[in-house]
């Protein structure tokens, strides 16, 4: 496993964004993962927009059955707590879900693929890629 996909990458996938689609096709499924946190965010988005749900739910089901969905474990919680403390003491906190994703990626040595680098660049040692550009 090499890449942890952020929620906005899954949204781009559901919309058929060309650059993201091309890059996803280049990577073997075992290299790709999402966190269960991202899966929750997708489910939340579907619950808020039931008109989109049937088409998008099927698209997401196919993707999530093809790649790994990583659990959020106790060690992830420990890393997240340390990271949150460090970022807050520097006056550079990030959003709660992004913090959890960063901890998951750091612990496993994964690159986060996102179009929201602004939040994640505050996390030292975290590798990032933007597949939209």
**Domains of the chain, first to last:** 3-129 (3.40.50.1010)
Is the pTM value of this prediction over 0.85? Answer: yes
Per-residue pLDDT of the chain (133 residues), as tens digits, is 899 999 999 999 999 999 999 999 999 999 999 999 999 999 998 889 888 778 888 888 899 999 999 999 999 999 999 999 999 999 999 999 999 999 999 999 999 999 999 999 999 999 999 999 8
Say what the pLDDT of residue 52 is.
79
DSSP string, 51-119: TTHHHHHHHHHHHHHHSEEE---HHHHHHHHHHHHHHHHTT----HHHHHHHHHHHHHTPEEE-S-HHH
Say what the pLDDT of residue 57 is.
86
């Amino acid at each position: 496993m090499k890449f942890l996909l952020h929620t906005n990458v899954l949204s781009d996938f559901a919309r058929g964004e060309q650059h993201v689609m091309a890059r996803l096709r280049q990577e073997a499924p075992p290299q790709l993962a999402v966190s269960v946190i991202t899966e929750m965010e997708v489910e939340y988005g579907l619950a808020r927009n039931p008109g989109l749900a049937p088409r998008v739910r099927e698209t997401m089901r196919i993707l999530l059955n093809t790649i790994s969905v990583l659990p959020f474990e106790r060690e992830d919680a420990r890393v997240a707590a340390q990271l949150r403390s460090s970022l807050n003491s520097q006056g550079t906190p990030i959003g709660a879900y992004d913090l959890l994703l960063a901890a998951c990626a750091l612990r496993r040595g994964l690159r986060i693929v996102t179009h929201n680098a602004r939040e994640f660049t505050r996390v030292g040692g975290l590798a990032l890629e933007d597949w939209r550009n």
